[in-house]
Structure 1
């Protein structure tokens, strides 16, 4: 699904530049057209695109600020600062430039791209149409639930707090803690996007970092209110009391106390460290779950590495067995090593039951290939197809036969299939070749 998204093209009728400062194949990531409310960054309208970079063939997110005239190159200084901030809760910034390719003066800031990402607004706060669900012989109208589980709320709070601390420790302010700028990139996995743009837009206006950091905490509190109450205006004076009552019914008092502390104006010296101290128990829970997720991913990776080794073995079988150009070669006749390999292939893939019906046992195939890859001393009996002769050999001996036969065919390439490192280098080289060919093809258009 993500691969399909990355390779999508712009809808028919959308007029976009064919090339933009080394990027091509622009695709809008936000709805546009008549009746769609456009979002703004300060006093400027902005639009988000996905584009492919010609240099590396990778997708990136381009946020364009319309009708912005840059008066001095020093305005790009915040981009360099933000590009040095590395945090899992912040979308990495790559570069920024100005362009007239959209027939105006536009500022374009390039970020990392996350396929199928949603904003918190689209995922939780955007009104969802009711659906009809089957109920017996009829259908009933079902309204989607808008209540976010408390565990999910705490996960969001911890991730955002961690990102804010990183930025505040760098003596900067996030200024983008908004439901339309925070991306949901996986299950309960969020990242703050569009960082650095405001710093560029108001670079010539004096800024008090302490006040901006306080505003970060206030915006954080408003976001917590909005997510808990499913209302962007939940923390406003008109809805404040009703929002507190709703939070009291749906969530624990701890969440309500955190939200109240964040939006409170009575403490002018609030810091993100104070918040992290209050929610340290939930931080530990989040860390434990992150470690367990890492363990699960490592187990999945181990299984994939095993699959890669088995694929290389199967490739060797394909390269060795029954090569037509060696049909009349005495040194390659199906005797000796090649005969053992052929019998082993029959032992793995061509077994039959007592009624001479083919046996399809994937577990048998995987067990045999794993033992062959390890080169164990376990012995097996290989029976000729005419059942007139048999051989008793070990997996270690069969592995040696395969290596010798493969080396005979490809005397300088044996290490390429034996080494995972070289295998990865080949994959990267192949990808680079494809990207270069794509870039060349695009350049000819």
Structure 2
């Protein structure tokens, strides 16, 4: 402690040098001006007992009031005269020496207000300081040390400081030997570039999808888009165009077992319309000769019918483009759709489970079955109210177009094929109800031939499904009667209709939430388009440096700030979150300021997003001539 002084009133005990004390390791050098230097014993103790025994330092006369040697500077008034040349206290510690902490002068008094009791300071006869003796003295009188520790503890409660053992504290404080050990250094944080792969890593289920649509919806929409624009394979020998439809592609197998409409073979194609560019489904009836143009009157009635569970009819025509007389009916196209037969009834190939090849169980779930019943019943009711009959309530003609979403397809074809039969519409509607009952029975039993053994099939339905479903099947398969209508079926499943209505509303809410997450994408795309028009433009108005000057230069620097940042290792920062944040702030024109640095790092600009937006709008307006 090199700058505190012993109070003048305290008793001082001078200890004679002892032979047991080891000699200091440092060599002694006699100074040339030693006769002009005042003896430190005079400065500290007021007298020197070696004055008459050969002490080589200056000893002022006893009557002198100012014990200052000749040619010696006057001590500073900030500290006592006795503290000017006091020895430096260095704790005896095997660790490397640590520089003394810098303490404000305002804290010197209270920090070093040590006990005024007697204490011993050991010097040898040459004035050398004995650090071992001083360390033992401080250990014998720990009151001052405790006060010092309490003071620094008050400055920083998290510090557990031992002034005589700083090795452990420096380790805890991440001390590197170059900073003040009384103040902890902040740990260095190495910035790592964020890894945003939005469509690769799965997100936790608890994380709300706030910025992008869910992965299931996105993947399903991408599959539908891929199926819509899929190109037909070569070698199919299909016509290049027929009645304004081109790029024909078969949607079902044209070899092996083929399905029929009555006595006619049928094939389904996907084709693009030359007028609107939309994909449609062409159902072709092979080798059919139309005898009367009036047969297309039912197609006009079907084209006016709109229902969410009925695939709309667009038009019908006959053609010889397939090298025969073919009837073609055009429907709306629902990509990736499959029939109810393929989804639930068709026998699926066995799969390996637990090391064994096991057959797949395909029994339809109760909730899914109720959903199908409600939707198909709604479609039948709408068709019957329009004075028509479905006539194709068959597992191979009802499509599953989404999650528990079914639609009745191939409507109107039977009306054209059987136009000359002229059957009563009421009887046809009764046949629809019977076909509906057979469909439900086939779904419950996973077998198209379940109707052949009706009693056993109904017992199977009663074991696996609730009694309400069995009652509906029995009602639908009764003999035709004027009192037998589809409205009675709705009365038998009112609770399930309410549940289906609730689930449909939940589905709408989910789709609206997904739409909200994608709503602002158009604004971001417009900003990116403006960037492409302005940045790096070769020439405008005969000025090859147009994109490098004026407002365009700020836009260029902002593009580098958004897309061309690098980390401390010089690697590109591919951070989609940073890009989206900057572009949204730019579109909003916020007042937040950022610093844009030129590529040569010789100049920088501090601008706000609002100013950058004005620069971009000005440059784009100049390009568009507005």
TM bracket (short chain): 0.7 to 0.9
Of residues 331, 341, 354, the one that matches 1:111 is 331
Q: Which residue of 1 aligns with 2:4?
A: none
Cα 1:211–1:330 change in 2 (3 A) is: closer
CA distance in 2, matches of 1:132, 1:9: 34
Cα 1:6–1:266 change in 2 (3 A) is: closer
Aligned residues: 404
Flag the structure with more relative contact order, 1 or 2, with Cα contacts below 8 A and sequence separation at least 6. Answer: 1
Q: Which residue of 2 aligns with 1:78?
A: 298
1:60-90 CA distances to partner (integer Å, 9 max, x unpaired)? 2121223322222111110000000011111
1:406-442 CA distances to partner (integer Å, 9 max, x unpaired)? 1222325xxxxxxxxxxxxxxxxxxxxxxxxxxxxxx
Task: Please report how far the alpha carbon of residue 232 of structure 1 lies from its aligned counterpart in structure 2 after TM superposition.
Answer: 0.8
Q: Which residue of 2 aligns with 1:30?
A: 252
Q: Is 2:393 the counterpart of 1:177? A: yes
Cα 1:5–1:364 change in 2 (3 A) is: closer
Cα 1:386–1:56 change in 2 (3 A) is: closer
CA distance in 1, matches of 2:234, 2:549: 62
Q: Which residue of 2 aligns with 1:253?
A: 467
Q: Is 2:592 the counterpart of 1:370? A: no
1:17-49 CA distances to partner (integer Å, 9 max, x unpaired)? 33322223333222233xx33322223232222
Q: Is 2:311 the counterpart of 1:91? A: yes
1:98 alignment partner, SS class: strand
CA distance in 2, matches of 1:410, 1:18: 41
Task: Please report how far the alpha carbon of residue 334 of structure 1 lies from its aligned counterpart in structure 2 after TM superposition.
Answer: 4.0
Cα 1:330–1:121 change in 2 (3 A) is: closer
> Within 5 A, what are the aligned runs for 1:141-180?
141-180=357-396
Q: Which residue of 1 aligns with 2:97?
A: none
1:123 alignment partner, SS class: helix
1:234 alignment partner, SS class: helix
Cα 1:331–1:358 change in 2 (3 A) is: closer
CA contact (8 A) 1:86 1:92 kept: yes
Q: Is 2:409 the counterpart of 1:193? A: yes
Q: Is 2:242 the counterpart of 1:242? A: no
Task: Please report how far the alpha carbon of residue 192 of structure 1 lies from its aligned counterpart in structure 2 after TM superposition.
Answer: 0.6
Task: Please report how far the alpha carbon of residue 233 of structure 1 lies from its aligned counterpart in structure 2 after TM superposition.
Answer: 1.8
Q: CA RMSD in A?
A: 2.6
Q: Is 2:268 the counterpart of 1:48? A: yes
CA distance in 2, matches of 1:349, 1:10: 39
Higher strand share: 1
Q: Is 2:444 the counterpart of 1:228? A: yes
2:317 alignment partner, SS class: strand
Of residues 21, 37, 61, the one that matches 2:243 is 21
1:125-170 CA distances to partner (integer Å, 9 max, x unpaired)? 112221234x4xxx31021111111111111111111111111111
CA distance in 2, matches of 1:385, 1:411: 30
CA distance in 2, matches of 1:152, 1:57: 35
CA contact (8 A) 1:38 1:45 kept: yes
Cα 1:362–1:23 change in 2 (3 A) is: closer
CA contact (8 A) 1:327 1:333 kept: no
Pick which of 98-107 and 401-410 moved more: 98-107
Task: Give the alignment's TM-score, normalised by structure 1.
Answer: 0.83
Cα 1:245–1:381 change in 2 (3 A) is: same
1:332-378 CA distances to partner (integer Å, 9 max, x unpaired)? 47454234323323332344455665443322221111111112233
Greater C-alpha radius of gyration? 2
1:309 alignment partner, SS class: helix
CA distance in 1, matches of 2:232, 2:578: 48
Q: Which residue of 2 aligns with 1:279?
A: 493
CA contact (8 A) 1:380 1:392 kept: yes
The answer for unaligned runs of 5 or more in structure 2 is: 1-222
CA distance in 2, matches of 1:165, 1:257: 19
1:199-231 CA distances to partner (integer Å, 9 max, x unpaired)? 112222232222211111111111000001101
Of residues 262, 277, 297, the one that matches 2:476 is 262
Cα 1:58–1:342 change in 2 (3 A) is: closer
Q: Which residue of 1 aligns with 2:527?
A: 313
Task: Please report how far the alpha carbon of residue 274 of structure 1 lies from its aligned counterpart in structure 2 after TM superposition.
Answer: 1.9
CA distance in 1, matches of 2:226, 2:600: 50
Task: Please report how far the alpha carbon of residue 110 of structure 1 lies from its aligned counterpart in structure 2 after TM superposition.
Answer: 1.3
> Within 5 A, what are the aligned runs for 1:111-130?
111-130=331-350
CA distance in 1, matches of 2:415, 2:481: 26
Task: Please report how far the alpha carbon of residue 270 of structure 1 lies from its aligned counterpart in structure 2 after TM superposition.
Answer: 1.6
CA contact (8 A) 2:539 2:546 kept: no
Task: Please report how far the alpha carbon of residue 5 of structure 1 lies from its aligned counterpart in structure 2 after TM superposition.
Answer: 3.2
2:316 alignment partner, SS class: strand
Cα 1:38–1:387 change in 2 (3 A) is: closer
Q: Which residue of 1 aligns with 2:285?
A: 65
Of residues 499, 502, 505, the one that matches 1:291 is 505
CA distance in 2, matches of 1:361, 1:55: 43
Pick which of 241-250 and 9-18 moved more: 9-18
Task: Give the alignment's TM-score, normalised by structure 2.
Answer: 0.60
CA distance in 2, matches of 1:11, 1:349: 41
Q: Which residue of 1 aligns with 2:100?
A: none
